[in-house]
Structure formats: structure tokens, C-alpha cells
Chain A
Amino acid sequence: MKILSQRHIRTIAASVTAGVMMVAASAAMASGSDTNIERQSWSFGGIFGSFDRAQLRRGYMVYKNVCSSCHSMNRVHFRNLGEPGGPEYTPEEVKAFAAEVEVTDGPNDEGEMFKRPGRPTDSFPSPYKNVKEAAFSNNGSAPPDLSLMGKARGAARNIHWYMEPLYWIYDMATVYQEQGPDYIFALLTSYKEPPALKISKEECAHHQGYKFEDGVCKFEVIEGLNYNIAFPGHQVAMIPPLSDDLVEFVEGTAPKTKEVCEKDPEQKWLADENRCSMTTAKLARDVAAFLMWTSEPKLEERKSLGVWVMGYLLLMTVLLYLSKRALWRKVKH
């Protein structure tokens, strides 16, 4: 008996075509963009991916020491830091982190609002009283809340239109759902000097956004904005937030020798201080991972449940297929 008849082959071919059609019909990713966000490798990507606890903890330090001075993150609570699937700090550590901030509570029995140290059930505090103050303090554009940043940004790709369906198929086959952290990493590491073209004044006039100055055709950045090739339009209000060695390892977690330190090309050994430091890229990567976790705190639960569900469905499908074959064996159809 032939297992794969011509009919089966046709059915399989048809299902594959249908799948391709579905992918082709989805145009979730806008293309033809002026940016190109490269795909990074993340511990939480793929079928069995999970967060790297040490990376989440480093990322939290970057958020706490850098990002949180301008950005709120009001959907995340201190208690989340101790929950499974996250940085998994101990309850004592969580309490200590919460106690570092001052929270306005109340009104009390006398009708007065009062300040108290934070508790694990409090959400991360906002650096500003309200959006107006946030905008006023930042040149008119309020820094966005970071709670969902890992999912609220996509990864634009500058590819030819005919390549798009192929990219979608590749994305799906390789389980690409890390567009958000890829964008965050790219944004934080893509602050550059505005480009200057060595062309004539006449040619320069044809380039939108450029101005001829001192013999070169320079890209003109609007006052108060910064040049960043990952940001759509290339001009972003956020000043470059990270720099090499801006955040140090938490005591006891730093690699102790030059060899161990420089195994990671994004870490640098500072010989005169005899310690390992983190480069901008490393800090950006860690905080991007942290922001993915804050966006999707149930990511690990999702993927591990998915493996079980998939196993169950595969078994059920095989059994049903065998039943179907046994049942239909004698029917000419």
C-alpha cells in the first residue's frame, strides 16, 4: 500500500500553499523603511527560550539607574521582581528595592495625603507628577511609559518588496517574536554623527533635510533632537542615554579576570582599575531583555505550556489520523 498517494501529495501541497498564502497576506511589518533593525539572538527567543536571570537583573539595574530618571513603568510592580519567570529576586531583596522609593499614599484618617516607603505591591514610581510635567522637562515630548515597550515597537526592515513574503516565512519558521527588544537594542546603540556628504552645493539642494555648510552637505538635525539611524526619521528626542561603563556590575557578579571578562566581546577589562566593565552594547542588550520581560512577564509560562500543548496535539492528531485511515480503508473515495 502506498502511504503517500498522489492525492495526499496534492493535499499536502495545498496545505503548504494555504499556509504560505496566509503568511503572504499578513503584512504586519512595514517595509521600505528608512531604518533596518537587525535581528539579535536572545535567550528568550525560540521554542524553548527562557530569560537569563542574571541578564534581567543587570537590565533592571540599567532601568533603575538610567531609564527610570525620565521614564515611568506603571504596569510593573516591585512584587513582579520576585515572581517566577522574571529576575526572581528573593522576597527580602524585593522589599529592599521597594523601600528605596517614596510613595504618596492616603488620605489617612485625618484626610491628609502622606509619604511612606514603597512596598512590594506598589508599582514602579513615575519620575514626574503628570504627563505635562514630563513633557515640560523634556523639551516638549514626554518620555513614553516603558511597561510594554518590548511589544509596542516593531522591527522595520529595509528589504525589496519581493523578498517580504520570504522573510515572513523565515520569521515564522524560526519563531521570530523579538522585534521589540531588537528595536530597543538598535535604538540604544545607533546614535551616530549626522552624515555629511561630499557633494556639490547644487546636488545637496536635492537632498531633503540636508544643508550645505563648510564645503560639505550635512544632515541637519532639528534643535533639541538627536541623530539616530534606528529611529524612523532618524531624529529622536531622547539624548543618548547609555555610555560605556555607565552602570557597573552588582558586587560579586563581575568577572574577576581579564580572560573571563573579555570572553564576552561586549565587556571590557579596565587594567588600571583591575575590573571588568560593560560597554554600551552590553547595557543596551540587558535593558532590552529586561523590557521584554516587563512587557511579557508570562513569557516562560507561555512557552513551557506551549510545549505540552503541542505534544498533546501532535499525539491526538496522529491517533485521529490512524483512526481515520483504519475507518476509511474499505471505502472507495
Chain B
Amino acid sequence: MSHHSTYQPSTGFTRWLDSRLPILRFVDDTLTTFPTPKNLNYWWVFGGILAVCLALQIVTGIIMAMHYAPNTLVAFDTIEKFVRDGNFGWLMRYMHAVGATMFFFAVYIHMGRGLYYGSYMAPREILWIIGVLIFLAMMATAFMGYSLVWGNMSLWAVTVITNFFQSLDTIYQGLGTTLVEWIRGDFSVSNVSLNRLYSLHYLVPFIIVGLVVLHVWALHVPGNNNPSGVEVQNPETETLPFHPYYTVKDGYAIAAFLILFAFILFWLPNYFSHPDNYVTADPLSTPAHITPEWYFLAFYALLKAVPSQLGGVVAMFASIIVLFFVPWLDTSPVKSGKHRSFIFKLAFWMLIFSFLALSYLGAKSPEGWYVWLSRVFMGYYFAYFLLLLPLMGLFQKTSQQPASIEKSVS
């Protein structure tokens, strides 16, 4: 809800500051008085949770960077040294690694919520697109961070991912090879590559911070979507000030989320990563199965599902690119999945199931029925966005949604 600022500077200094840099007014407008629909359910808590995840990653990352050397000869050793001998080095390292898992866990739910409740629809298209950009930046950061460990899976993951671009050779001879060499800075993945991965791994998180600021800005113009899918009509009765109502509710959700975080951090810190990454990188020994971390497995499955390398790469990138167009692919006049047809609900949950199935299949060797199943679920993933969303909307009746937020909660 874009609202009239009600901030009143109360001291001489804040009045002086407000007429020069109204930063306190901005904080007050966005975190205190911001009118928020009163009917948000617990699926709406993940924005706050993600902000906490980002902050934790940056803090632990900066501390680890003080103990890390991006040199292929010692990279792995510097991390191990910090973990074994640094003060709480093990805690920083595991918090950062488990933090990545929790970050993606939260972002997937956050995106799923947006897809179910139509949070991408007008007037929130830009908000959604910035969100997809954040997701892309997160993927890049996570991948580069994983490479810095310089374990054997790190090295081979970088080799496989940079090899993607090799497939462009089929379009124009030499284009792919040149591009791959340019990206790696060498003929193979080497110290030069590690240096740039480190540089970018340190840079991109701050780009994410910038995108998050834009994301929040774009949220604060139209205001939150809500489970009813109906826009706020009467701010007096239908919204609450963000503080204390949502600071406390989000605070509760964040604390509950941190319980799960702490459980994995202190008792299952290595459960979600591959043991091969505790083996120092060795260009002469390829791991038996090169697999990414769990949060990339669905995309990895797409890569393996298409018989041609170029096709696989295209499918993988297309699976994210398609998200940019969702606001216009969905033709429904009703936003909230709650007030859409049974067909929509079924289609949505099948999309979630397909994503999970692809994640499962991404960890399997591309042979036999695994490949065929990957193709089926890949087909459904694209069909949902390119066929079902445009078609289902055409048959959607507006009469199914409540007249107002007030009506939806009574």
C-alpha cells in the first residue's frame, strides 16, 4: 500500500536530518507504519525469513573471507585450517554451508506462494520480475561459493557448468570454445578461474542486497498481495501497521525457522552435501557421479533430459526465463489460487510435484526410465506455464472470489 507518510521527527537532530536525508522517514514508512493486509497467512512469512538468511550469509561469508585464500594450491587447506583451529571456524563454515540450503528452501516456498496466490499479477509484475532476478543471482552466488571449497566436486561442477557454453560450437564453430576459455580465463578450470569465482562470489551478494532493496520498494508501492487475492479497498479496516503486528508475527516465524536451521547446523551439517567435496580437487580423478547440491538438482535433471547438449542448456535456462513472463502468461482475472477452480489447484500441485520429481531424478544417472520420467516432468513444467496458465485463465469466473478482504475473513 503506497501510503501517505505519517512520520513525525521528534527531536531537533531528526528534524534536521529529515529535511536533508529522510532515511528515518524511509525506515518508518517501510517497517513501522506500512499498512499491511490483516489476512496474510503463514505462507507470507518467508520474505522476512529470506532477509535473515541473506544477512547471515553475508556476515558468515565476510568472516570466512578473512581466512580464505583463493589459490588452488591452498584453498581447501585454508578452509580446513579455519574449521579446525579458528575460533568458531567450524560454526562459521557450517552456518554458511547450511545457510545456503536453508536460503534455497525458503526461496522455493516463497516462489511457490507467489505462484499459488497470483502474487505476480498486476500491479506486481515488476516486484515478481525483481524476485526472479534475485533468484538468478542467488543461483550464481551459490554455485560460485560451492566452487570455492575446491573439493573434488567443486572442481568438477565448475568444469561441467562452464562446459555448457561449449555447446554453442554447434551453432557457430569455435564460438563455444572461445567463450568457455574466456569464462575460465584458461584452457581448463584453473587458478585463474578460482580467482574470478572468488571475486564474483564476493560481489554478487551485494548486488542481491541492491535487488532486495528494489524488491521491497516495488512491494511498497502496490502493497502486499494477500490470500484472498482482492486488493485492499479500505485501509482503515483491512490493514494493520507493519509494526508491531507483522514484526512480531514474522519474528515468531523467523524463530521457528531458525530452530530447523539450528537442527541441521548442529546435528546434520554435512547431510545435504556430497562427501566427495571433502576430497581435495583432483583434475585427474573424476567423481563417480557429478551432482550439484540438492537445490540445483531439478535444473540438472532438465539438462540431462534433452539428448543434445545445447538443447539441455537451452531447457535449463528456459525453465527460469519462462518465470519472467508468468505475469502475462496467466490470463486469470482472479489472483488467489484459493478462489480458483479445482483444475487450477490440481495443476499447481502437479507443478510442485514435477519440480520435486525432477529434483529426485537430477540425482540419478541419466539412463533408462529416469531419462523418460525427466522428460515427462520437464514437459509438464513448461506446459504449466506456456499452456495451462494461459488457457485456465480464460475459463475463470470472477464471481468465485470474495468482494473484499473484510468479507473474506468474516
Q: How would you classify the secondary structure of chain B's contact residues: helix, strand, loop or mixed? A: helix
How far, in whole Å, are A15 and B256 apart by their CA atoms in the complex? 11
Given contacts A27-B297, A306-B265, A323-B252, A331 and B105 within 8 Å (CB-CB): no
Contact with B along A313-333 (1 / 0, CB 8 A): 110110011011001100111
Contact with A along B284-311 (1 / 0, CB 8 A): 0000110100110110000000000000
Residues of B within 8 A of A316 (CB): 255
How far, in whole Å, are A195 and B287 apart by their CA atoms in the complex? 27
| A–B complex contacts, Cβ < 8 Å, 10 sampled | A147-B80, A172-B268, A302-B90, A303-B266, A303-B267, A307-B266, A309-B266, A310-B263, A320-B248, A333-B409
Asked if A75 contacts B38 (CB within 8 A), the reply is no
Does chain B have a CB within 8 A of A21?
Answer: yes
Given contacts A25-B356, A313-B262, A152 and B84 within 8 Å (CB-CB): no
**Closest CB in chain A relative to B361 CB, distance in Å:** 9
Does chain A have a CB within 8 A of B69?
Answer: no
Asked if B240 contacts A331 (CB within 8 A), the reply is yes
Does chain B have a CB within 8 A of A28?
Answer: yes
How far, in whole Å, are A148 and B109 apart by their CA atoms in the complex? 34
Residues of B within 8 A of A11 (CB): 41-42
Contact with B along A152-174 (1 / 0, CB 8 A): 11100000000010000001100
Does chain A have a CB within 8 A of B26?
Answer: no
Does chain A have a CB within 8 A of B91?
Answer: yes
For chain A, the bracket of interface size reads 35 or more
Q: List the interface of chain B (C-beta within 8 A of A).
A: 38-43, 77, 80, 83-84, 90-91, 94, 105, 109, 240, 244-245, 248-249, 251-252, 255-256, 258-260, 262-263, 265-276, 278-279, 288-289, 291, 294-295, 297-298, 352, 356, 359-360, 362-364, 409-410
How far, in whole Å, are A32 and B363 apart by their CA atoms in the complex? 12
Asked if A232 contacts B38 (CB within 8 A), the reply is no
How far, in whole Å, are A310 and B289 apart by their CA atoms in the complex? 35
**Closest CB in chain A relative to B158 CB, distance in Å:** 19
Give the nearest-CB partner of B360 in chain A: A27
Residues of A within 8 A of B297 (CB): 25, 27
Does chain B have a CB within 8 A of A246?
Answer: no
Q: List the interface of chain A (C-beta within 8 A of B).
A: 7, 11, 14-15, 18-19, 21-22, 24-28, 30, 32, 47, 75, 80, 144, 147-148, 151-154, 164, 171-172, 175-177, 179-180, 232, 295, 297-298, 301-303, 305-307, 309-310, 313-314, 316-317, 320-321, 323-324, 327-328, 331-333
How far, in whole Å, are A311 and B410 apart by their CA atoms in the complex? 38
